[in-house]
Structure 1
């Protein structure tokens, strides 16, 4: 968002012929130092703002929330990354994230040592920053409809993480998209889904996604996984719970751990 520069300095009026002229002149002598200080502070803030937009600063994960007053599962992915790393170990070396704001997630993952990351953005990219445009230009982030096959070979990634995307798909399309996530994964799939009763997307987001989020219960998801021949990754799930307990981490979203297809 552009900001209009504000002129913070003011000229002091000529104090000749006015009462208390001495005090006014004293203030006018000190005002240049105040003005200079304000200009310096403003310049620092402006540089910091531009630097963060260029991708040079750390990711502001608080800006990822797509739910007004609710939970963002995309935000949750970055918060859960240390726990995921403990649970999956070497499987975190080559990660595909699927979901909105994937540029921010991929940027955060790429800052981790020995981690390669790619992203699938299911919706149109509007008003993206320079860093996101660079990721798209390099092919690291792609825009792809989850209702169709993903543009990757089988087992292209060690781990696939999906967030804030599957909640918007009907069972008809989930039957296609979920097997695709398992197909391109070598070690497993992690799904971050909202809880029933959480704040739904705002009206503007509903128009973009085409439908409101269907926040389903864990039992609904488990039944659906069984129907699509996807098995729970119990070993990874237990490690995730243990690592979460050690870090006092409580997910704001449902987290499901699935095995990749053989």
Structure 2
């Protein structure tokens, strides 16, 4: 707000005030305005800094937009990475992640020391950011229909992590996809799956995912693993549980460890 400058001489003539006092009052007002201005500028700079620093977390949380109710197992993988590294050790050096919004997980893994990472995005990347498009351009992330054979040789990766993607597959396609994930892994497959009733695909996205998420119970998955002759990695599961306890980590999704 603009102020009309005060004329000390006029105030002295009208009211008998001392010019020096008027000058001090004017400087005091100017100092207050300057202080307020500096506070406003500082607040704007702080907000800008926090906004720019949150770009990574925004990318990580993009998976939330994939589901209704704010639950994402891909986001859960990001939370679980320190625990997974503790449980799997050297097997986390060469990882394939398969999931919607895999770019967020791959980007995080690539920042880790001595870690190589690749990703498979099962659906179109219509809303991919610059970072994700760069990963696709370099061939680090591929867009591929996981109902068909994966474009990798057997045991190309030490570990395969899959999140959210299997929840959209019927048993018919699970019978094709899960063996493929096992084929390209040397040390094991980790599945992050939602709990029953936890999340559903938005109606507008059914054309993209093909069907609503079919979230199964742990007993359903265990029975399915037995039927398809997939063996649980008990040693890794125990290490994961121990590391979770030490870090006070409680998974928001079901986690299965397969050999």
| TM-score, L = length of structure 1 | 0.81
Q: How does 1:138-153 map to 2 (within 5 A)?
A: 138-153=138-153
Once the two structures are TM-superposed, the CA of residue 136 in structure 1 deviates from its matched residue by: 1.0
| CA 34–80 in structure 1, closer or farther in 2 if over 3 Å, else same | same
Residue 192 (structure 2) aligns with: 192
Q: Contact conserved, 1:73 with 1:253, CA < 8 A, in 2?
A: yes
Once the two structures are TM-superposed, the CA of residue 236 in structure 1 deviates from its matched residue by: 1.0
Q: Contact conserved, 2:95 with 2:118, CA < 8 A, in 1?
A: yes
C-alpha distance in 2 between matches for 1:203 and 1:13: 57
- Please state which structure has a larger fraction of its residues in helix: 2
Q: Contact conserved, 2:62 with 2:101, CA < 8 A, in 1?
A: no
> What residue ranges of structure 2 are gaps of 5+ in the alignment?
7-21
Residue 12 (structure 1) aligns with: 2
Once the two structures are TM-superposed, the CA of residue 35 in structure 1 deviates from its matched residue by: 4.5
C-alpha distance in 2 between matches for 1:133 and 1:49: 22
Larger radius of gyration: 2
Once the two structures are TM-superposed, the CA of residue 165 in structure 1 deviates from its matched residue by: 0.3
Once the two structures are TM-superposed, the CA of residue 64 in structure 1 deviates from its matched residue by: 3.2
Residue 38 (structure 1) aligns with: 40
| CA 24–170 in structure 1, closer or farther in 2 if over 3 Å, else same | farther
Once the two structures are TM-superposed, the CA of residue 207 in structure 1 deviates from its matched residue by: 3.4
Which secondary structure does the structure 2 equivalent of 1:118 belong to?
strand
| CA 70–31 in structure 1, closer or farther in 2 if over 3 Å, else same | same
2:143 aligned with 1:107, yes or no? no
> What residue ranges of structure 1 are gaps of 5+ in the alignment?
1-10, 17-21
Residue 181 (structure 1) aligns with: 181
| TM-score, L = length of structure 2 | 0.82
Residue 7 (structure 1) aligns with: none
Residue 19 (structure 1) aligns with: none
